[in-house]
Structure 1
Amino acid sequence: MTGQQEASWYDPAIYPEWRTSAPWVMDDMIAAQPANVAWTLSSVANAAGAVASAITEAVDADAPVVVSGTGTAGHAARGVAVALNWGVGDETGGRVEFRESDDQARAPRRGGVLVVVSHGGASSSTLAALNSARDAGARTCLIVAAEGTAAHDLADFVLQLPERDKSYCHTVGYTSPIAAGLAIAAQMRNEQLDPAAVQASLEQALAGRGAIEELGAGLGRIQRFVAAGSLVDEPSARELALDVAEAAWLPASVFGLEDLLHGHMVGHNEESGLAVLLTGGPQLSNGAATAAGLLRAATRIGLRTILIATDEVARLIDEDATSVGRIIVPSSDLPAVVTSLLGTAVAVQHLSMTLVASRGTNPDLLRREDIAYREAVAAGGAKQPSRK
């Protein structure tokens, strides 16, 4: 530990391990994901069956099914909603609804089922959402990494995740709850996801890091970053923007594919980077046409552009539509939703770490080494300065 690290505020029991260079704790957690996701699928199997039954009952009764969370847990919750819509066979993505925790707390749906995703089980909005749902007659499910939290007492069902993320910039904390959601969804379809097959697919995705690092160097010293994705790719796009902000300390925003074409790019130029995500969903050819148009428009005004897609989608978009290149998310024999949610997550994380390397930032502490950022956490009142 350096002299700087001996500052009185730093408590290793609260904060992630403080490293001064790569490999970062976030690197360790990225590498741990294949085994962790397989572990998650196995460990939540029994509880997932009970939740699958409760959701099926709600769907049959035309009652609401809501998935809620905030921050990385909120992005994972969006992924769980995508998974559960696959579980009920709704390709439109509308039957199971995502709502931010604070929105759910203030205006809860009546009855049905609320699924809450949380890392530490202590966010004020998470607890409020669970309380409001119970008061509104909903059955509650908690997908959580921490043990014995206040949120556990408010849940009818608990899917206990096997491992907590050790970095503040979450990777396992994103993919593990999504894996739990996929376990629920598979049981709703009377199917099983083979943990070994999912692990192998993520190991294949991890193997692409070198190529992504080489590609990411083409982003240069951008000053702003934009991620764009819709439908099944919205969770990954949102998580990419958050990872870039948290890990690389770079201002980042997220939009739908179409929305970004309507005025938002006026504020961007050659100092901005854009990643367009398209890995699945209905009417892929139409989605590819929208993505190609967005990439061409952004490239024309100087943005450094990257496409993140499956090979099936990439074949629909000309190579010259991007100025930097494309990241291909490996496909497998698993359901396409697994590739979109989990395989894309690894690509997103690798791209974020490329920006970490180029900008020389520490991705693990979310700038807590700066007193202003520590005090901002307390001022916001959303959580205590402990692992998310």
Structure 2
Amino acid sequence: MGPSARVLLTIFALSSTLLTAAPLHAKESQGADRVRGDQWHLRYLDVSKVQRISQGEGVVVAVPDTGVAPHPDLIGNVLPGADIFSGGDGDGRQDQDSHGTGMAGLIAAHGNDDLGALGIAPKAKILPVRVKRINEQGNSDDLAAGIEYSVAHGAEIISISSVGGPDIRLHKAVETALRANVLVVAGAGNRPRERQVGFPAAYPGVIAVGGVDRSGNHATVSVDGPEIDVVAPAVEIYSTSIDGKYRKGTGTSDATAIVAGAAALIRSKYPYLPAQEVAHRLTATAVDKGPPGRDDEYGYGVINLVAALTAEVPPLGFESTAPSAPSGSSLTTAAASPSSDSGDGATARGLATLGAIVAACGSYLLWRRRRRADDPPPRISR
């Protein structure tokens, strides 16, 4: 076999095979009575305060992965989905591996009072899309089909913890999702297996997620590169597993699910905010780490959930619009307010939206006047 043939085979292998940006050290954890205390990322991200503002209600997050198994901490939060891979005929609600179940738990587990695992957005719904049976198996065609299914079945966020090479169909599926106002969040990849940000995380418009450790420093497992947008906890992360158990994992998969949960909180609090503006809130409010400004290890920084939900964030521009929604609604927020479940919501939401539009325009014009000429705008997407 000549050199050219070997190169072509290598390119084909990279483009057709997907490796999960998985916890490199995933293992079973202790029971429900202890797992909450081990979820250090909840305290690190001040989730108890965050969930007084938003819990992700009304938001559907698709998880194209190994499926989502039944678990006490996910009861009522997992919708019927689909098995996409060849030969699959289920509804996505089974998992032979535990990876997909773990990602779903990080996003939307509700636990039981102070027991069990708690997700970032415990009132969000998970759309399970089973694109592979076992972790580290799968291909880009099945993932692309999973993204297409997610868009067609109402997902507002797609959390992808898989890494592979560039692929035409996968790229088109991502572009379709972005055009449909669906936020796509993807893991950057793990060392030593990957050395650079993989796909789909490297595609323009996707939120590429890296990881930090318990100290908030760059996690050695996380790849770096110019595509990184934000980082989140990625080391010794506890979540749900198969057979009603719990797991501990390390890798950018976990960080990705955490960021997807954060996006669900924002989309729930600001239901008319376009996906592009949701991404903007995450990057513009992130806590800067490393060298000042954006860098290849931390992107724009560690996600700051409280700020993402409450800070005044100037909009990207009036060209960003959401289908079937008042233009420019809820583009900026002055302060936190607890989420409300009252049935009188339509009128209140309408008035709140009108107020938000006025506040957004006023804040934006004020910001434009005050902004120094040498201050670059926050980066939103590549």
TM-score (norm 2): 0.28
Report the TM-score, using the length of structure 1 for normalisation: 0.28
Decide which structure has greater helix share: 1
